[in-house]
Structure 1
């Protein structure tokens, strides 16, 4: 199971971003009574999504290298910039953009900025998922190891 954890975390991250941003929130605006009600609910969903994103990225960071090793797994080397970038995009959206939308400051501008940041985060999560999958589902121990690790295996 531990070998598949990177793939599962990346899939959860990308899948939750896809579901919330491209299915659930548009349905709120299509089916709730007013845009204000839909917007309030969307804000809560995006806040929850931020924490899903941060948790998935943290899990990926924490398992990016074998215990006691200096170097990262191959999947982590290939995806690190996108893991950190996606997590930062989520936090900037939540704590930089969302308060301005809630305060109704220049809604057109801040909604546009929020949409761009969300789309960039979605791309980061997708690239992380694809790189983990390409590097053997995170299951291979392809990393630069300490010489004593090679003798043990």
Structure 2
């Protein structure tokens, strides 16, 4: 049961990052009347995505950590991807997004944010890949 919950959470994390970042937001800029309108909606979507990411990572941490593991037990496989993805989501939401919304050095912060989003997407994908591989 925990394995299925973890796989579902990992798929939701990676899939939502993919859909928002690579499909929905580009469509906003292509189809809304002004870039300002698209930017405002994109900011809301990225905030929602940050919280989806946090929730998925928390579920993954709970589902992949063994309760009966003693002090000498090893960390769950892929823990570094989970923690890096969580850190990136929080840094995007609280460090980068406010600067983009304030239009503070927009080119720099948009580039930093895009790079961090891509890194989070890679962390989620690597964890999903690792979790989905056959055991045995």
CA distance in 1, matches of 2:108, 2:100: 9
CA distance in 2, matches of 1:65, 1:59: 10
Q: Deviations over 1:36-69 (max 9, x none)?
A: 0000000000000000000000111112223333
Give the ranges of 4+ consecutive aligned residues of structure 1 lying more than 6 Å apart after TM superposition.
none
| Residue equivalent to 1:3 | 3
| Residue equivalent to 1:86 | 85
CA distance in 2, matches of 1:63, 1:32: 40
Q: Deviations over 1:4-52 (max 9, x none)?
A: 1111110000000000000000000000000000000000000000000
The CA RMSD measured in Å over matched residues stands at 1.5
Summarize the alignment of residues 32-51 of structure 1 with structure 2, pairs less than 5 Å apart: 32-51=32-51
| Aligned residues between the structures | 134
Q: Does 1:102 align with 2:101?
A: yes
Q: Deviations over 1:97-148 (max 9, x none)?
A: 0000010101000000000000000000000001111254xxx9xxxxxxxx
| Residue equivalent to 2:115 | 116
Q: Is the 8 A contact 2:54 2:89 kept in 1?
A: yes
Distance apart, 1:77 and its partner CA: 2.6
- Three-state SS of the structure 2 residue aligned to 1:121 is helix
TM-score of the pair, normalised by structure 2? 0.92
- Which structure 1 residue ranges, 5 or more long, are not aligned? 141-153
Q: Is the 8 A contact 2:88 2:117 kept in 1?
A: yes
TM-score of the pair, normalised by structure 1? 0.83
Deviates more, 1:99-108 or 1:59-68: 59-68
Larger Rg: 1
| Residue equivalent to 2:14 | 14
